[in-house]
Amino acid sequence: MKKHNYYTLLGIPKGATPEEIRQSYRALAMRFHPDRNPENPNAAERFHEIVEAYEILSDPIRRQQYDQLGALFRLDGRPPEKEDLSAFVSETISRIFSRKKEKKGTDLHYEITISLEQAAFGSQVSINIVRECNCNSCGGVGCAPDGLETCPKCEGKGSLGGRIFRSNCDRCGGTGSIITKRCKRCGGTGRTDKQESLEINVPQGVQAGQTLRIISKGNEGTKAGMDGHLFIRVQLQEHPHFSRRGCDIFCDVPIHWSEAVLGATILVPTLSGSSLIRIPKGTQSHKTFRLKEQGLPDAEGKKRGDIHYKVIVEVPQLDRELEKIISQLDQTLASKSHTNVHSFRTSIHHKE
């Protein structure tokens, strides 16, 4: 029976978290589901392999057993049979002395800046990246089509010595071949840079500083190694009106002193446009009003925060004529119209 590397099947590292395992499984299961691939005869087999991998890696106990036994792991939980042990030993020895050294591609790190509205409702953001890939001309080998010869020292074996004491050939580095003419496109490195434009799905409720992971969009692996991943750090633009604390957002709203005294209905900004709020008569500066469930959603999208509006009463600049009018008005107001002022000043007088 063919042995699968469950981590490779799901495209995740061995130390992947349960959430990373679940996300990768959902994406791959949707991609290879037989109902979505009626013309692909291999889709059903691949789908069942993905389901099998998820069932093992999502179970902490079975995952631990798989990590310990590797290729000897059995789905039924029984100890490995004799032929399995023999095949495992043979495979291990072959892998140790293999000339094909798989190497995972390195991860890439980028940063995007989005608006508060994009964070609130989710969005697609275009990003241009540069990936290091295997050269298309030489297939990552680094040589021209006629520039690869059998190593004369090891005669193409890649190793020197007998069956027991054997080491990699120091002339070819264990590859069994030597390069006599470098690839013109990559200069012999076997690698070239490739520019790609990606559409990144930014989920609603994303936090400033949160990192998104795009599987297998890092640098390409060498010699059939897994590709690296792309990590995108999200930053938020400074908003002209709002500041954010968790799922709640806050806004300072300047109002006329007459609106504070007489009351008014004023227009305030929201994440989706604008709304009206009522300012009662006698509203004091720094009074806070709230629009419920108009803030940002939580990470699961189950509830939204609120918008908090703090009114700031703006005192006008007066000319002499207006100063006289205000002074006359103030004299006509009894002290009970300014109860807090009267109480505060009276308490100071009594202390003296």
pLDDT along the chain (352 residues), means of 10: 74 89 90 85 86 89 77 56 51 46 88 95 94 88 81 82 73 81 89 94 92 94 88 96 94 94 95 95 95 90 92 88 80 68 72 52
DSSP-assigned letters across all residues of 29-77: HHHH-GGG-TT-TTHHHHHHHHHHHHHHHTSHHHHHHHHHHGGG--TT-
Helix, strand, coil: what percent of the chain each, to 5?
A: 30, 30, 40
6-96 shares its CATH topology with 250-316: no
User: For 6-96, which CATH superfamily applies?
Assistant: DnaJ domain (1.10.287.110)
Residue partners of 87: CB distance under 8 A and separation at least 6: 71
Q: Which CATH architecture has domain 250-316?
A: Sandwich (2.60)
Structure tokens at 276: 């009206």
Distance CA 172, CA 256 (A): 83
Q: What's the confidence (pLDDT) of residue 79?
A: 55
pTM: 0.59
User: Where are the chain's structural domains?
Assistant: 6-96, 250-316, 324-352
